[in-house]
Amino acid sequence: MDSQDAYDGIRTVVDVDDAFSEASQDGDAPEGFQIVGDLEGQEPDARTLAVLEAEGDADEDMVFEAGAPDEPDAVTMYLREMRHDLLPKDEQIALGRRMRQGDQDARKRLIEHNLRLVVKIAKRYTNRGLPFGDLIQEGNLGLFKAADKYDPDKFNVKFSSYATWWVRQRIEQSIFDQARTVRVPVHVLQEVNSVLRGQKALAQEQGREPTAAELAERVDLPLERVEALLKISRDELSLDAPRGDGDDNPLYDQIADDSAFFMDPLEVALRDVEGGPLGSFLSALTDTQREAFERCCGLNGYEESTYEEAAKAMGVSTSTVGNRLVKARARLRSKISSPDILSGRADFGGRNMEHV
């Protein structure tokens, strides 16, 4: 497959253009995208737009340089495939008028020609607490909001100038919200999950809340570790409380790690291992690496396990399980690396994973 097919247009790992085209009429984010903060009812004033217009005119001749330090491979590929430069002002305004009349092709073209602008703005916010890929994602959300609200006859500025305000607002709001968010490493969330499950089971068995010592014995962890994990679950907000938006799933099941936006190709590839050609990749692992990987990922008949559960079943320490997983994932990534897999378009055992 031509890499242009996988990454051209409005695309990171999922095809956000199609998603937003369906949701744009209501001004909502499509399924799978979360609107953080509340920018509804806000608009840039005329003076702000005039300043942005002047800044944009001064920057138009700048050379675009894709890339940022330590980008995930999917981010790098996305940046390298952006081929659209900013359009002249009169063309942006003409497309904006067509877009206001419901022309989705005009909308898509305006957005495509401003993706580089989003990256350029996102670079100014690096080292502020969000990964570069997340900054691009938030900026793209701002770009789509700008496309929904842009009226060239009302604002009398280029779409790129108007979009700049929305992109900045989205990124800055996201950075602010990030500073207020409980950030817990994924392996710690797994331990919290295990402790909370044990706590619930003991409470049902005993008819009362278990002590920390009882819980430590139940989950086979040191008392100090259990106390620390319980504190994490209570700090700021309760990680086992329902989300409160009609979803009864606990919060610790909802918090994603920092790389969730740019989906790990290994995670994509191994969704459908059994019976598919990707099962052969596991043969590259040692027996102990494979067992640890399959247990923790819930593959090939194993129920998905935490590090502690896998360690207990295998008769080793949790650190040994962790070391085996690190080696297994590194070896598998060296085997699984193609643009098709990165984009999610590969055919895995007859199943297309593009929208998983």
Position 151 in a domain:
yes
Position 276 in a domain:
yes
**Are residues 71 and 101 both part of a single domain?**
yes
Last residue of a domain, one of 253, 273, 291: 253
Return the pLDDT at 235: 55
Q: Sign of dihedral through CA atoms 294, 298, 302, 307?
A: positive
Q: What is the largest CA-CA distance in the chain?
A: 73
**Are residues 304 and 228 both part of a single domain?**
no
Return the pLDDT at 94: 93
Domain count within the chain: 3
Any alpha helices (H) in 41-184, and if so which ranges? 46-59, 73-80, 89-100, 104-112, 115-123, 132-149, 152-155, 159-179
What does pTM read for this prediction?
Answer: 0.41
Return the pLDDT at 300: 75
**Are residues 17 and 164 both part of a single domain?**
yes
**Are residues 30 and 104 both part of a single domain?**
yes
What's CA 196's distance to the chain center, in Å?
Answer: 26
Q: Which of 11, 12, 6, 4 is nearest to 260 (CA)?
A: 12
**Are residues 200 and 151 both part of a single domain?**
no
249 burial level (CB within 10 Å; 0-12, 13-18, 19+): exposed
Position 207 in a domain:
yes
**Are residues 159 and 215 both part of a single domain?**
no
**Are residues 215 and 295 both part of a single domain?**
no
Tokens of residue 198, six digits: 């044990």
Position 259 in a domain:
no
**Are residues 165 and 207 both part of a single domain?**
no
Q: Which of 111, 27, 19 is nearest to 354 (CA)?
A: 19
From first to last of its 356 residues, the chain has per-residue pLDDT tens of 333 333 333 333 234 444 444 444 444 444 444 433 445 556 677 767 676 667 654 444 443 444 444 555 556 666 666 677 878 888 999 999 999 999 999 998 998 888 888 888 988 888 777 788 888 888 888 898 898 889 988 878 889 889 999 998 888 888 776 665 555 565 676 787 788 888 888 888 888 889 989 999 988 889 888 888 887 776 544 444 444 445 555 544 444 333 333 334 444 444 444 444 445 667 778 888 888 888 887 777 788 788 788 888 999 887 788 778 777 777 776 655 444 333 334 333 333 333 32
CATH number, domain with residue 324: 1.10.10.10
Q: 170 near 139, Cβ under 8 Å?
A: yes
Position 164 in a domain:
yes
**Are residues 44 and 155 both part of a single domain?**
yes
Q: Which secondary-structure segment (H or E) carries 195?
A: helix 186-206
Is residue 351 classed as helix, strand or coil in its secondary structure? strand
**Are residues 163 and 295 both part of a single domain?**
no
Position 329 in a domain:
yes
**Are residues 275 and 222 both part of a single domain?**
no
**Are residues 347 and 278 both part of a single domain?**
yes
CATH number, domain with residue 81: 1.20.120
Position 16 in a domain:
yes
What's CA 182's distance to the chain center, in Å?
Answer: 16
Q: Domain containing 223: what range?
A: 186-253
Return the pLDDT at 268: 43
Return the pLDDT at 93: 92
Last residue of a domain, one of 155, 179, 203: 179
Position 233 in a domain:
yes
* Gap between the Cα atoms of 127 and 138, Å rounded: 15
Last residue of a domain, one of 115, 146, 179: 179
Q: 221 near 192, Cβ under 8 Å?
A: no
Q: 255 near 184, Cβ under 8 Å?
A: yes
